[in-house]
Amino acid sequence: MQNLPEINHCSPNLKAYWCAACKAHNTFDIKSSRTSNGTTWTYHCKACRFSMFNPSDVNPWEKGLFIFTVLAFLIAIPLGLICLVKGDTNSNSFSLALILAGFGAFVGPIAWMMNKYMKKWNVWRSAQRRKSPEQLTQEGMNHPFQPEYESSGDFTEWAQQFLTPEEVEQLHLKYGRGMFIPTDQ
């Protein structure tokens, strides 16, 4: 805000990456890493290096994984118990119960982590929404971290979360040194 009055990083935006540690839409460094499934990108807060998340991306995953975990245990526990009572532990049903319980135990903590961060986001978002535009501006001005202009792809991606491509182009013209060619007087 102090360096870039166009963007308030303390104003909640569901589609923008958010740092749960700094409680703001701080600027980030995007890091790519190659896995067997292709390339994945992580967004690291410029203030604290914490990994940021996009609430609108995480929300459906959190709900889906949570439902999957509940269903897996709802099937696995009674099925496993029935097999145990019957002494039928070599059956396919018992194997299925073990596999489902295993999946649930693996996915459950991921869903729980997502839920934990989504809760922090929701608490912050509702608190911010109760504030007036003036209060939000004041908070943006006083936040310990102040985003700064950079002539980089990461900065452009950050700015595009809040502004249209044309407005981002204006930012580059306004702040980008060497990119702005003044007209002859």
For binding to Zn ion (CB under 5 A), which residues are involved?
19, 21-22, 45, 47-48, 50
d(CA 49, CA 70): 33
Total Cβ atoms within 10 A of residue 24: 25
DSSP single-letter state for residue 87: T
The H or E element spanning position 43 is strand 38-45
Q: Which is nearer to Zn ion, 20 or 79 (CB)?
A: 20
Q: What is the nearest approach in angstroms of Zn ion to the Cβ of residue 182?
A: 36
Q: Which is nearer to Zn ion, 37 or 41 (CB)?
A: 41
CA-closest candidate to residue 21, choices 51, 54, 66: 51
Q: Extract the tokens encoding 182.
A: 């003044």
Q: Extract the tokens encoding 35.
A: 């896995």
Q: Extract the tokens encoding 127.
A: 């608190």
Q: Which is nearer to Zn ion, 80 or 140 (CB)?
A: 140
Residue 114 near residue 58, CB atoms below 8 Å: yes
Q: What is the nearest approach in angstroms of Zn ion to the Cβ of residue 119?
A: 17
Q: What is the nearest approach in angstroms of Zn ion to the Cβ of residue 47?
A: 4
Q: What is the nearest approach in angstroms of Zn ion to the Cβ of residue 48?
A: 3
- The residue sitting closest to Zn ion, measured at its beta carbon, is 45
Q: Which is nearer to Zn ion, 9 or 100 (CB)?
A: 9
